[in-house]
Structure 1
Amino acid sequence: MVNKKRCTIAVIGAGMLGSSVARGWVKENCTVIAYDKDRQKVESLEELGICYEESNEAIARADVVVFALKPHIQLPVVASLAQNLTNKLCFSMAAGIRLEQLAEAAPHARWIRGMTNICAAVNAAFTAYTPSENVTEEDMKKTKLLFGLLGESEETAEPNLDAITGISGSGPAYMFTVLEALTYGGLRVGIPKDLALKASAATMIGAAKLVLETGKHPAELKDGVVTPGGTTIEGLYELEEGAVRASFIRAIAEATRRGKELGEQKTNKKK
């Protein structure tokens, strides 16, 4: 059985995503080491018990190495550290970067390609992941444990990960936009900003929890709130007039397209 307290994780890249997963794991009593070329990014993490090490030292100490870098620098950094990654279990969190590209950059590592989001910082992320062929059964147990500590997680086929990037990786930004809009709606009808924000955020959490715990389709739950001639149908009519659902569908389609494009750009540059 994998013991999270005995698992040392090196996070390479302490930007928004890297710092979020580091925060989530350290809250669960994992040992976390972080490296970023900008030393100041790690300083805010050190007060949480996350140690700073240079990349080579961090990798040497780690059981799992997590690369949370921008797509355009992920493969060059991995390739530069390839010798240190031999026989290491490595997680890649970069949009669009495929397992075959990772294996080419560091062929003696065991790769998991994943996508999570910044909600990992509060252990409420959704993480989807795909293992490479050389990942062991013990690696998979460790992967399931560690991603499970960050929130909900699920293994999936690699072609799904670009879409998961569009839905879940980028998703918090969409939800923050909705939350901001609901809050401004409250302001427009005259309630205090703090009250509007709290009511909006709690409602968003509650609605999501209801979907996950009941297993019901969102449309079914929505119809349960709508009554003839009531307040909800008036609000929904305005949302339909504004093509809100179509806008979200287009947003996810475009984010997915861009994720695929980022991986293809890395491939084309090498040809």
Structure 2
Amino acid sequence: MKVGIFGANGRMGRVLIEAVQNEQSAQLAAATVREDSPWVGMNVGELAGVGKLSIDCCAVDTLNPADIDVMIDFTLPAALAQNLAWCKENQKPVVIGTTGLSNEQMSVLKEAATQIPVVFAANYSVGINVMLALVRQAASALGSSADIEITEAHHRFKKDAPSGTAMAIGEAIADELDRDLSQCAVYGREGHEPERDQETIGFATVRGGDIVGEHTAMFADIGERLEITHKASSRLTFANGAVRAAKWLTSKPAGLYSMKDVLNLAD
């Protein structure tokens, strides 16, 4: 499997290079940076700290589609449209881990998936995707009486809040309880407020230091509390999951897939 990576100079881009290098059945074929980036022409391996490799960083418009089987994109939302346009034009599957997408950007992604295979997930950790299945079970059993709160913590550089993963956890719980998250989510509490509405789902966000990612879904009832927590200690966790998704995606027809499909997790 010949893999191309959009955004090689980003934090996740560099880790993805390492993950592809570690995967025996994958070969790093290309890695892009912005066309005006000072990283254009730099050796990809030296950029990622894995030793010199046979390819250099390039701009998207200089990619050779004949060299690539699948692309992986963990760039910023602003780059999504250009990256998807290249994948559509060249009929290349793409794994997308970009979070913080607007409704318009999600529409662009969904339209692309009518023409090419796309895996889109807020989090590519296998553990997080098992957690998404577990919170559905907890919601089904406890959601009618428990107060539900979601907390998440990430490094100081993360721009979107709550995290895409926290929102995915909330969506899974709300879907299981037949609630509309856009109507029942509470994103902050301050001052004197009325008694908590049991139908709401609360979110709390922490940003600091180099925290890779921590998420907890709490189901708090009178007399007992269930907490389901996932903690990531290395970005390789996410990168390895994305490479796994890329391997799975290369044999699939056009469509929008999730890590639940990749891992064959039941609803």
TM-score bracket for this pair, using the shorter chain length: 0.3 to 0.5
Name the structure with the higher helix share.
Answer: 1
TM norm structure 1: 0.39
Name the structure with the higher strand share.
Answer: 2
TM norm structure 2: 0.40
Specify the structure having the higher radius of gyration (Cα): 1
The one of the two structures with greater contact order (alpha-carbon pairs below 8 A, sep at least 6) is 2
